[in-house]
Amino acid sequence: MAVVITQIFNGISLGSILLLIALGLAITFGLMNVINMAHGEFIMAGAYTTYVVQQAFSQYVPESFFNYYYVAAIPLSFLIGALLGFVLEKTLIRFLYHRPLDSLLATWGVSLILQQVARSIFGAPNVAVTSPAWLDGGIAIAGAVLPYKRLFIIALVTICMISLYLYLDKTAAGRKMRAVTMNRSMASSLGVSTKKVDAAAFAIGSGLAGVAGCALTVLGPIGSTIGTYYIVDAFMIVILGGIGSLIGTVFGALSVGMLGTIAEFWTGASMAKVIVFVAIIAFLQYKPAGLFSARTRSLE
Amino acid sequence: MIAAISAAALTLSGCAASNALNEEEETTAADTSDTVSVGVLHSLSGTMAISEVSLRDAELMAIEEINADGGVLGKQIEPIVEDGASDWPTFAEKAKKLLQKDEVATVFGGWTSASRKAMLPVFEQNNGLLWYPVQYEGMESSPNIFYTGATTNQQIVPSVTWLLENKGKSFFLIGSDYVFPRTANKEIKAQLEAEGGTLVGEEYTPLGHTDYSTLISKIKEEKPEVIYNTLNGDSNVAFFKQLKDAGITADDMTVLSVSIAEEEIRGIGTDVLTGHYAAWNYFQTTDTPENEKFVAAYKEAYGDDRVTGDPIEAAYNAVYLWAAAVEKAESFDVDAVKEAAGGIEFKAPGGTVTIDGDNQHTYKTVRVGEIQADGQFKEVWNSGEPVKPDPYLETYPWAEELN
């Protein structure tokens, strides 16, 4: 019984991690159709921001407050990610909006540059982030231990998801963003500044990558290459979910997480990766537009 | 001696015969110069950079020390550094470049067995010389490679015996999915069977894997007393962090790792590692006068916050062993150096190491250490004397079927 609970929880947890890394990409790739290979490096930037905040807290803040460094790190990671994204959009991406192959190559180059910058600043070896004490341990349910860190990530991704939904659906800025992605020229002719909207959307997507990086520090390594571990999964999930559909990304992440953990439990980690890839490819053969197709009737 | 080197150059340029004359002239010209070039080939980027950058640093430090001391055979050593980029074909390509284009006297390089296996044919075809400084899975003895890291019977075999005697009989084996863990685990399984241990699980994850929740729930199901860990690179960080989150501490299960040295501990965090074990031939805390000097020099060269470790020491030793072999051979010629290398001794930071002329490995002292809260090891056991390398485990009856 404990195993069943643990495995269901593991599936949801892996799904939530995948969702967190794919959420930013769901905007920049899903809504804006920009293939941003440097997305993983925004995750890395968030992780290093967390490390820097931790170092700063351990030096300048009384010890009793040290455990709250993480609370400060989350919004800061978002800001750093968003700032990097904003700069990248202004200096590079906006010239490449209708040239997907060029933007793929250019952003891949950017990702290599960012990795090398990180190595120059922080050194090639990994750095360690001590997770805050209030995230240590877990809840025991029927013999299964649900770690607080994983519960926290599930909560964090839920909050990000809800805020994103509210932003896109209930605010004027979010509605403009959707209008631009649905029909750029129509939105433009109605007075929406597409340049501003593009920059804002790209910054938000990149900021979410920063938050993902911050969250991942409690579970995994923090080094210059962490982005490369997650980037493929992130693209896979957005494509599986259906380009342009946020809800599709949610279901895509959860189904990959579930399938991945079940397959790993019955076979092994390497085999599970193969099974997940085969399943996704087979599914996309059957439904090329993904789980949720968000194609509108706009002329393309 | 000039003739010998020219002959080597001729062999090297065998595949480009039209250039042979040119290259011969160049080599003769180079021979009168007062430097000798050597290759340093490690991953300076990619997933293995975390470990390999320090090996480059150690090798460059040894080269500098030797140069300050007058060089080898009166020549200054000039390192040519190349990046293997954590990519095995790149290692082979760069090795070829170092041997054929730069015509280096020897190469120090590699970390993963996959990179060594990729370079091996290049060194054998070009009759080059590679010094490989990392512990590995054994079952290999190339005439063109010197192995200054431990082979299985100098690390894994004695540590399994130690675990069986001190920690428990039921083993769970986890490793990254490539040649070293798979071969090492084959050997461990044979040893467990022979020495009365039981195997309750064996799992592999791809290099760079970051989610260990499912593997850990399998471990919880099987309740082993010992987890034998041959994961490599960043995966260790994810594994240990998530193991602690799942409520498993060093008191519940002993984890013994063979790829975690002081450098890796810093990147994983001591909060999740304290109390677990690692098997090596050298720790930064190893108490010898040579080590005191070595640690001080390393910190002075690269910063107070840097730490040494087993592969770093083995890489440092490799340069000194090569230099000693060259001095003894009175030549940089590969065959002459190989001929002279047997029996060469070096007072290394981790205790005296000696080259075994038969298999080109080194005699090394085996140590098991417990990870402390300060990120250093406390040695809990050592073999007392340097252990003779036995890459094919020929002296162990249970290993007969493995060969």
- pLDDT tens-digit readout, B28-87: 444 567 899 999 999 988 777 778 889 999 999 999 999 999 999 999 999 999 999 888
- Cβ–Cβ contact A178 with B under 8 A: no
Q: Is the pTM of this model over 0.90?
A: no
Name which of B214, B216, B218, B230 to mutate to probe chain A: the one with the most chain A Cβ atoms within 10 A of its Cβ.
B214
Helix A100-122 to helix A69-91 angle, to the nearest 10 degrees?
140
Cross-chain CB nearest to A125 (options B50, B238, B244):
B50
Range 203-262 of A in CB contact (< 8 A) with B: 216, 218-226, 228-230, 260-261
Secondary structure, 3-state, B299-356 = HHHHCCCCCCCHHHHHHHHHHHHHHHHHHHHCCCCHHHHHHHHCCCEEEECCEEEEEC
CA B172 to chain centre: 24
Alpha carbon distance B17, B30 (integer Å):
20
Contact B206 A149 (CB under 8 A): no
Alpha carbon distance A179, A195 (integer Å):
13
Q: Which helix (H) or strand (E) holds A188?
A: helix A184-189
Token pair of B56 as six digits: 């480059």
Per residue in B117-143, pLDDT (tens digit) is 999 999 999 999 999 999 998 889 999
Contact B238 A270 (CB under 8 A): no
pLDDT at A294: 59
* Residues B85 and B112 reside in one and the same domain: yes
Phi and psi (nearest 5°) for B207?
Answer: -60, 135
On whether the CB atoms of residues B104 and B88 are closer than 8 A, the answer is no
Cross-chain CB nearest to B245 (options A123, A140, A147):
A147
Strands B345-348 and B351-355: antiparallel
For B19, counting Cβ atoms within 10 Å of its Cβ (0-12 exposed, 13-18 middle, 19+ buried), the class is exposed
Per residue in B274-291, pLDDT (tens digit) is 999 999 999 999 999 999
The residue of chain A nearest to residue B213, with distances taken between CA atoms, is A10
* Residues B92 and B226 reside in one and the same domain: no
Q: Which helix (H) or strand (E) holds A230?
A: helix A226-241
pLDDT over threshold 50, residue B2: no
- Residues in chain A predicted with pLDDT less than 50, given as ranges, are 297-300
- Cβ–Cβ contact A265 with B under 8 A: yes
pLDDT band of B18, cuts 50, 70, 90: very low
* Residues B83 and B137 reside in one and the same domain: yes
pLDDT band of B294, cuts 50, 70, 90: very high
Alpha carbon distance A60, A25 (integer Å):
35
pLDDT band of B390, cuts 50, 70, 90: very high
pLDDT band of B13, cuts 50, 70, 90: very low
pLDDT at B5: 45
The residue of chain A nearest to residue B249, with distances taken between CA atoms, is A137
- Listed by start position, the domains of chain A span 2-225
pLDDT over threshold 90, residue B23: no
Calculated CA dihedral for residues A261, A262, A266, A272, nearest 10 degrees:
-50
How far is the alpha carbon of B344 from chain A, nearest alpha carbon, in Å?
33
* Residues B306 and B161 reside in one and the same domain: no
Alpha carbon distance B370, B166 (integer Å):
13
As a whole number, the mean pLDDT across chain B is 89
pLDDT at A295: 56
- Cβ–Cβ contact A127 with B under 8 A: yes
- Cβ–Cβ contact A191 with B under 8 A: no
pLDDT at B55: 94
Contact B269 A130 (CB under 8 A): yes
Contact B221 A127 (CB under 8 A): no
Contact A223 B50 (CB under 8 A): yes
Residues from chain B that touch A124, judged by Cβ atoms under 8 A, are: 44, 49-50, 53
Contact B206 A273 (CB under 8 A): yes
Name which of A229, A265, A275, A277 to mutate to probe chain B: the one with the most chain B Cβ atoms within 10 A of its Cβ.
A229
* Residues B348 and B259 reside in one and the same domain: no
* Residues B223 and B184 reside in one and the same domain: yes
pLDDT band of B10, cuts 50, 70, 90: very low
**N residues, chain A:** 300
CATH number of the domain that B68 lies in?
3.40.50.2300
Nearest to A247 by CA among A290, A196, A203: A290
- Cβ–Cβ contact A12 with B under 8 A: no
Alpha carbon distance A48, A40 (integer Å):
13
Range of the domain at B48: 2-150+288-363
- Quote helix, strand, coil % in chain A, to nearest 5: 75, 5, 20
Contact A145 B269 (CB under 8 A): no
Contact A221 B220 (CB under 8 A): no
pLDDT band of B347, cuts 50, 70, 90: very high
* Residues B167 and B262 reside in one and the same domain: yes
User: Between residues B324 and A124, which one has the greater pLDDT?
Assistant: B324
- Cβ–Cβ contact B302 with A under 8 A: no
- The count of domains in chain B is 2
* Residues B55 and B189 reside in one and the same domain: no
- Cβ–Cβ contact B201 with A under 8 A: no
Residues from chain A that touch B235, judged by Cβ atoms under 8 A, are: 221
- Cβ–Cβ contact B205 with A under 8 A: yes
| Chain A to chain B Cβ contacts (< 8 Å) | 133
**N residues, chain B:** 403
The residue of chain A nearest to residue B44, with distances taken between CA atoms, is A124
- Among B27-31, B344-348, B365-369, which stretch is predicted with the lowest mean pLDDT? B27-31
Name which of A1, A4, A10 to mutate to probe chain B: the one with the most chain B Cβ atoms within 10 A of its Cβ.
A10
C-alpha pair distances (Å), B291 with each of B58, B63, B348, B351: 13, 17, 7, 8
pLDDT over threshold 50, residue B189: yes
Residues from chain B that touch A218, judged by Cβ atoms under 8 A, are: 241
CA A234 to chain centre: 7
* Residues B97 and B73 reside in one and the same domain: yes
* Residues B51 and B108 reside in one and the same domain: yes
Give the N- to C-terminal CA distance of chain A in Å, as an integer.
52
* Residues B55 and B132 reside in one and the same domain: yes
